[in-house]
Amino acid sequence: MAPRHVVPMSTSQAARGVCVLGTEVFLDTRRSTPWGATSFDVHATPAVTVHMIHSPTTKPTMDSRWPLDPDIEVVVTIDVTSRTVDDNQVKISYYDHEGHELAVAWLYLTCVGWGKSCSCSPMVLLLQAKWTWGPDGQGAVLLVNCDRDSPGVGGTDSGQADIRTLADLQDMSVMLLRTQGPSAIFAEYRVVLHVPESDADKVRVFHAVRDGARPLYQPVLGPDKLSYVLEHAGHGDSTFYVEGLAFPDRGFSGLVSFSASLLELPHKDSPGTPIFTDTVVFRVAPWIMTPNTQQPLEVFVCSIKQGSDSNEAFLEGLRTLLRKANCKLTVCSEQDTRSDRWIQDELEFGYVEAPHKTFPVVFDSPRNRGLKDFAFKKILGPDFGYVTREPPGKSVTSLDSFGNLDVSPPVTVRGKEYPLGRILIGSPLPWASGRRMCRAVRDFLFAQKVQAPLEVYSEWLSVGHVDEFLTFVPALDRKGFRLLLASPNACYKLFKEKQQQGHGEATQFIGLKGAEKKSIDEILADESLRSDNRHVQRCIDWNRDLLKQELGLSEQDIVDIPQLFILTDSRADALFPDMVNMLVLGRHLGIPKPFGPVVGGRCCLEQRVRELLEPLGLSCTFIDDFFSYHVLSGDVHCGTNVRRKPFAFKWWDVVP
């Protein structure tokens, strides 16, 4: 709470002061009370309103005089900005018990005004002093200036302590400080803009000043500047541009504040005494992931031309899919990716949004293989931001890759709305040790607040990624999507049906040189494989129950996709291309071609997946990724990445 503005009164000489429009000034009458006085009255010029604060039993006399009760306080406010210095007067007259006037104390006030209303306050920070969530919330939004608008800059624009292009300004929020009042008064009073030391490394503020006809943008607050004295106060608007330097994270809620103080200067070299302080609060916009239900804008894939695991055939299948989906394809050269094909594992596309600006931001994982520098060197640019997090010591596991990161579509869970969905992170069981996504990344994701991360169980897999056993696809009914789960039970059920129909000799992997071929009969008779898949099914069922509870799903919202796994050293890998590891482009799905047993001229696995998904309005394209991805422990989703359209829903309307 700001300290009260108290002005001492005196009967020996007039008091003078400055007050802020609409704020209370408390008059200290005790020091000026003459000997023998028993009552007083107060009169003021028309712009001044006098308030008497007293107990209910204390009453003025018939002539409007008040007893000299120590519990009575005199408070004045002014609702009009001063045109000249000392143009508001307050007069306090003291009387003895016979009604004779003993002495008079005068106060001359100059009102410069400082408030929150744009329409009436002549000195105003045109922003809110608090930040609240929800549709009825209020507060200003700040973007981390993490793109690179300025040519020749080595990093992001936030790393530069100057403004080099007008495009850079457009990423910033405007803060307006408006001052009005007699200019002479500001010779004795100073306006100071300041930022708490705890916030100073999270923001930078530029003051727009003019150098002749050319605007200049002077850095005035930031990591090495905690305060700034506003020159020429009283001359109207001062415009400031504010950029964020840090995303919300562990130890940083995302809230930053700025204050403007009016200081009284007893003499020229005095640091000044604050008589009024106003504060405004910004929230740094969070990084937001986009689910499969959002419109695809651009698909990224790496070209691998060398060796027996070339992905040229895969790229042809992908191009066919993208023509159907009418989506842009960006093929990253082998030189730029250093022969690293796992682009889903290296990065995740998201975005940041403020009322005045939205742009995509790529989150670079700490995986750091061949694609380590790709996002920074090839994606970061004008209106395309970049962020990364690294664990201390650089120690990472497979679970730090972003194939282990997903986000659900919007859901409502037991009345609680998640309009931007919930982030899914693959982890060990809650009570177990094991590989886990590094704390630096998890802390970052949880700190964004608007997508309430949920840790699911993925450590049972050799690679350990959530995209190996689940995905989301759009649907026209119910919640607008379905959760697809890999299902050994569904696969055994399908194969048993085909066996009973007389197709037990149908064999998988036909036409794949070097792949171990097994018939349906052999698969069903393999007790070791069946034991492996009983374990896998239990792991997936644990997640099924968790996701139903935490995403508000019912069985009707889940589709079981037939899939078998095999255990190696107690961890699971897909036995054939993992069909839930698909690319989702609107209603068009790019699904790993499973090379399942052929029945009636068709792959029975493909046929079953079509039967499950096409009634939802989805189109299935099966892409051969067997030698280019599957045998290397990944599939279609692992080898592609999608930039999607941001949500129409505004994140500040979320109620975390």
CA torsion sign for 365, 368, 369, 374 is positive
CA torsion sign for 317, 323, 325, 326 is positive
Instruction: Tell me, yes or no, if 467 is annotated catalytic.
Output: yes
- Closest residue by Cα to residue 167 from 360, 312, 382, 466: 382
Pairing of strands 588-592, 619-623: parallel
Instruction: Tell me, yes or no, if 465 is annotated catalytic.
Output: yes
Residue with tokens 């171990």: 516
Kindly report the CA angle at 287 between 283 and 293, in degrees rounded to 5? Answer: 130
Helices (H), 153-280: 166-169
Kindly report the CA angle at 442 between 295 and 357, in degrees rounded to 5? Answer: 45
Instruction: Tell me, yes or no, if 336 is annotated catalytic.
Output: no
Q: Which of 157, 199, 249, 467 is catalytic?
A: 467
Tokens of 123: 């000195």
The residue type at 191: V
Pairing of strands 203-211, 347-354: unpaired
- Sequence length of the chain is 656
Q: Which of 465, 588, 630, 637 is catalytic?
A: 465
Rounded Cα distance between 609 and 349, Å, is: 28
Rounded Cα distance between 577 and 100, Å, is: 103
Q: Which of 157, 345, 364, 406 is catalytic?
A: 345
Tokens of 343: 């682009």
Beta strands in 100-244 (DSSP E): 101-111, 124-125, 140-142, 173-180, 189-194, 203-211, 214-221, 227-230, 235-244
Kindly report the CA angle at 505 between 500 and 509, in degrees rounded to 5? Answer: 120
CB 9 within 8 A of CB 33: no
- If phi > 0 it is left, if psi is from -120 to 50 it is alpha, else beta; for residue 449 that is left
- Closest residue by Cα to residue 492 from 545, 529, 539: 529
Catalytic residues: 345, 465, 467, 638
